[in-house]
Structure 1
Amino acid sequence: MNVSTILIILLIGAFATYFSGDKLASKVALLFSLAALGCSIVLLNNFSAGENISVINSWITQPKISFALNADGLGLAMVLLTAALTPIIIFSSFGNEYKNAKGFYALILFMAFAMTGTFLAADGLLYYIFWELALIPIYFIALIWGNGDAEERRKAVVKFFIYTLAGSLFMLTAFIYLYQKAGSFLIEDLYKVDLSACEQFWIFLAFFLAYAIKIPIIPFHTWQANVYQKAPTVGTMLLSGIMLKMGLYSVIRWQLPLAPTAAKEYMYIFIGLGIAGVIYGSIVALRQKDLKKLLAYSSLAHVGLIAAGSYTLTLDGLRGAVLQMIAHGFAVVGLFFAAEVIYRRFETREIGEMGGIRTQSPKFTSMFLILVLASVALPSTFNFVGEFTVLYSLSQINIWFAILGGTTIILGAYYMLRMFQHVMLGETNSKTFADVSLNEGISFAVIIAVLLFFGFYPKPITDLITPSLETILQVINKN
């Protein structure tokens, strides 16, 4: 078995879901997503046993393009994140009804297919194809099944699409330039290209524009909050839990090794942009009255810190960034799902219209509190492991970076706990808040179990990703 198997399962699953009809679509999609998760676990076991599960085949002769999928520890970690979150996201949606459900769930699986391909691609043009394919399903998911006024939703989604597509075109231009130098799109050949300092600057900038929009890093974040708010919660979970990780992963896999001289020269600028996102996202989150918008700006703050850690060019920085990517993926999906559970009962996302949930649903309150504490990186949660490692790496570069980046702990604790107080405590809302259903409880339990288990024992993931990160650092430090 090789890594193309998981792509085949997801692609077949997308078509099978669509042709299964609206009544069976959700169950078929869940079945195929679980099959993909099982496949990813088998691939991990084979990889750990030393088996070569990568794929490389000639695809197009002129220009020279290969169907190349590279399964190292870093790529497998991101594939496992995608494979684990996809069934959770699908299962969490069972409490909602969707028109044209077959199209909705088929798009989710197709998006998972494209994102998985992005994490595995070892050919520049193949990677670009998967990168762009992931944009199509989320565009339709947000546009057709989104919330609020249709015209406002259309404007938000179109802005996101145009922003992301424009950034990707800069990346494509960089790949074409690199191909002319290397004669190949294979990542191992692109790594070997000898570029001048000026050439590296433009390559670095081209990739940065694509990734800064996707992550997002300020000042390229203006699409994020509105799209997160207008998209259905499933779409928001896909965007925040997995899709933005494509940009963060790509910084490590593609941007830094392809332009290492530029990465070293402009390190302080890009670390500064990441930390600026931490501070800006936290301050704006303090002022939000809409629960989904508050969580969107909270996510902006967290990914700013992850980006800052990536640009330190240290093993601790890269390792902490990857750990935090995975932890953030589970925590943010859990938080957005909690917001959806509240919306199902109260039919509002306005924090001021909530309250009193604790007296009506102690179970939900307890689970929501654990997710909030994980989000603010309480020790013993997975988020703490990644966040502490990133802050430690920043202190190695400049202690002020660590101090400023650490504001995410203080500000995050303040706005998240204040939000919890307004939403869960206080006077009882006039509407009844039913306790969590079995489906909802299972979704929360799985997410919380992951956050707590790896909070106490992150070694399996650390051991998986460290060799790949060391290899990438060797490429960077050769220049």
Structure 2
Amino acid sequence: MLTLSLILLPIIAGLITLAVKGETAKTVAVVSAFAELALGAYLYSSFVPDATSQFSVSYDWIHSAGIKFSVGVDGISLILVFLTTLMVPFIILSTFGNNYKNASTLFALILFMQAALVGVFTAKDAFLFYFFFEAALIPVYFIAAIWGGENRIKVTFKFFVYTIFGSLFMLLALVYLYLLTPGTHTADISALYQAARVLDVETQSYLFGAFFIAFAIKMPLFPFHTWQPDTYEEAPTAGTMLLSGIMLKMGVYGLIRFVLPIVPLGVDKWGFVAIILSVTGIVYGSIIAIQQKDMKRLIAYSSFAHVGLMSAGIFSRNIDGIQGALIQMLAHGINVVGLFFIVEIIQQRTQSRELSRLGGITQSTPNLTVYFIILMLGSVALPLTNGFVGEFLLLKGVYEYNVWIGAVAGLTIILGAVYMLRMVQKSMFGVTSGITEGFADLTFNEKIVLFPLSFLVIALGVAPNIFLKVTEPAVSQLLSIIK
């Protein structure tokens, strides 16, 4: 019931939030989010680090079709459930400095999206996974469309069309695999693993393409990324945090949960192409990030580059690459949520995100400067920060796959440092401009968000085995399936 509670709690809290107004809605949202975090922490502490699926619940959903409401947690899904429960309270807290119209609706949509995200990461039935995969799109669409920038309708429509288009390919692949299962058919994911074993290389290649397109758009990977920068820029900061901090991990998770174990022959044939696209995205995204003048857009491209490295590590199909992708998803979620919040703080104070208009902020903001630099160093993978652990394992995994591809992927270390240090230098240091004079340091509410995130940057870098030992058995079992 613990897994089911993690899905139901934000739904119930979201409905209550819709029914109340003002400060009460805010209180209900943040209290329920921290209650969800407490449940997530209890789930993590109670998890036995082996390869089994735990805290499982299964009910008949569409009995005649063999489709069940079946959820459970293994080491791979646990890390992402924990990320989701960890980030949402801070995303909600980060909105407290803004006066949103219909704020109760915004908070409710965030909670509904949290429920869908937990559902994605815990689903053991393929059609239940698809249901939650699509359900997570609806709240963030309305968040961006209602509270976004001037071009929000055009941008969010493009985002919606892209993701729905990709998901249709996945649905076709799932239906095909479902019809291959024996007897009255079942949508159990483990049964799909077995059903796909009889397929030849050509058929698995088609299925690989269907799954890959769906997940590559969601992440996104090069060249399926064109919706991302505009959507991240136009969405309100809370929506951008949800998209970059958690939602893009659905695509990375899908590669691990579906692509590798279901179509290993397809990965054998097309995995090299996928890695080339992933590494291209690393270099391309980094170069574009270096040229950005808008802080929010710069972080959007940096996120695009980081996802490319995660994808390359997964398709390397070794334990270092997949372990690196899992720990990097957690680290990236922490870092990017913190960085987007700092950009929001700067924009609120100065009404600008343009690097050319900023400067000298550090002269009056010792607290903001410290937190900004810690989160930036985590993003560029400085040793003893959270980003270093995942990036080291990912590069090691890609290097083991192919030395030359690993060398190109390693450019992320140099290019990442260039664009992140450039952003900090131009916004925080130098001479103050007309809009940064008298820039106020962090408020108490802002410190409540940034201090825990900054602490996690260091804690995860110092003690990564807290998470790596939990994911390793499930990853090892996955590798035994695909090899």
TM-score greater than 0.5 by the shorter chain? yes
Alpha-carbon distance, 1:423 to partner: 0.2
The answer to whether residue 130 in structure 2 is matched with residue 128 in structure 1 is yes
Residue of structure 2 in register with 1:330 after alignment: 334
Give the gaps of 5 or more residues in structure 1: none
Moved more, 224-233 or 38-47: 38-47
The AA in structure 2 aligned to 1:467 is P
Residue of structure 2 in register with 1:441 after alignment: 447
* Aligned counterpart in structure 1 of residue 474 of structure 2, from 463, 468, 472: 468
The answer to whether residue 59 in structure 2 is matched with residue 37 in structure 1 is no
The AA in structure 2 aligned to 1:441 is K
Residue of structure 2 in register with 1:161 after alignment: 160
Answer whether contact 2:49 2:470 (CA < 8 A) is retained: no
Counting only pairs closer than 5 Å after superposition, residues 423-434 of structure 1 correspond to structure 2 as 423-431=427-435, 432-434=438-440
Q: Provide the identity percentage.
A: 45
Q: Give the Cα–Cα distance (whole angstroms) in 1 for the partners of residues 390 and 318 of structure 2.
A: 14
Q: Give the Cα–Cα distance (whole angstroms) in 1 for the partners of residues 44 and 328 of structure 2.
A: 20
Alpha-carbon distance, 1:62 to partner: 2.5
The AA in structure 1 aligned to 2:139 is P
The answer to whether residue 346 in structure 2 is matched with residue 342 in structure 1 is yes
* Aligned counterpart in structure 2 of residue 457 of structure 1, from 463, 466, 471: 463
Answer whether contact 1:60 1:66 (CA < 8 A) is retained: yes
Counting only pairs closer than 5 Å after superposition, residues 98-113 of structure 1 correspond to structure 2 as 98-113=100-115
The AA in structure 1 aligned to 2:461 is G
Moved more, 466-475 or 83-92: 466-475
SS at match of 1:53: strand
* Aligned counterpart in structure 1 of residue 387 of structure 2, from 383, 386, 390: 383
Q: Give the Cα–Cα distance (whole angstroms) in 1 for the partners of residues 54 and 251 of structure 2.
A: 26
Q: Give the Cα–Cα distance (whole angstroms) in 1 for the partners of residues 391 and 47 of structure 2.
A: 28
Moved more, 51-60 or 450-459: 51-60
Answer whether contact 2:80 2:121 (CA < 8 A) is retained: yes
The AA in structure 2 aligned to 1:364 is L
The AA in structure 2 aligned to 1:401 is I
Alpha-carbon distance, 1:404 to partner: 0.6
Alpha-carbon distance, 1:52 to partner: 4.0
Moved more, 20-29 or 463-472: 20-29
* Aligned counterpart in structure 1 of residue 403 of structure 2, from 386, 399, 406: 399
The answer to whether residue 29 in structure 2 is matched with residue 23 in structure 1 is no
Counting only pairs closer than 5 Å after superposition, residues 85-234 of structure 1 correspond to structure 2 as 85-147=87-149, 149=150, 152-182=151-181, 183-193=185-195, 194-234=198-238
Answer whether contact 1:327 1:382 (CA < 8 A) is retained: yes
Q: Give the Cα–Cα distance (whole angstroms) in 2 for the partners of residues 86 and 243 of structure 1.
A: 12
Answer whether contact 1:241 1:332 (CA < 8 A) is retained: yes
Answer whether contact 1:124 1:186 (CA < 8 A) is retained: yes
Alpha-carbon distance, 1:18 to partner: 0.9
SS at match of 1:266: helix
Answer whether contact 2:125 2:187 (CA < 8 A) is retained: yes
Answer whether contact 2:49 2:471 (CA < 8 A) is retained: no
Q: Deviations over 1:339-387 (max 9, x none)?
A: 0010110011111111110111111111101111111000000100000
SS at match of 2:22: coil
Alpha-carbon distance, 1:57 to partner: 1.9
Alpha-carbon distance, 1:46 to partner: 2.7
Q: Deviations over 1:111-140 (max 9, x none)?
A: 000011000001010000000000000000
TM-score between both structures, scaled by the size of structure 2: 0.96
Q: Give the Cα–Cα distance (whole angstroms) in 2 for the partners of residues 369 and 354 of structure 1.
A: 16
Answer whether contact 2:245 2:336 (CA < 8 A) is retained: yes
Give the gaps of 5 or more residues in structure 2: none
SS at match of 1:97: coil
Answer whether contact 1:46 1:53 (CA < 8 A) is retained: no
Alpha-carbon distance, 1:49 to partner: 8.5
Q: Give the Cα–Cα distance (whole angstroms) in 2 for the partners of residues 416 and 363 of structure 1.
A: 19
The answer to whether residue 356 in structure 2 is matched with residue 352 in structure 1 is yes
TM-score between both structures, scaled by the size of structure 1: 0.97
Residue of structure 2 in register with 1:64 after alignment: 66
Q: Give the Cα–Cα distance (whole angstroms) in 2 for the partners of residues 102 and 406 of structure 1.
A: 44
The AA in structure 2 aligned to 1:235 is G
Q: Give the Cα–Cα distance (whole angstroms) in 2 for the partners of residues 226 and 76 of structure 1.
A: 31
Counting only pairs closer than 5 Å after superposition, residues 289-300 of structure 1 correspond to structure 2 as 289-300=293-304
The answer to whether residue 282 in structure 2 is matched with residue 283 in structure 1 is no
Alpha-carbon distance, 1:429 to partner: 2.4
Q: Deviations over 1:24-53 (max 9, x none)?
A: 212111111111111112222332399941
Answer whether contact 2:374 2:457 (CA < 8 A) is retained: no
Q: Give the Cα–Cα distance (whole angstroms) in 1 for the partners of residues 49 and 208 of structure 2.
A: 36
Residue of structure 2 in register with 1:10 after alignment: 10
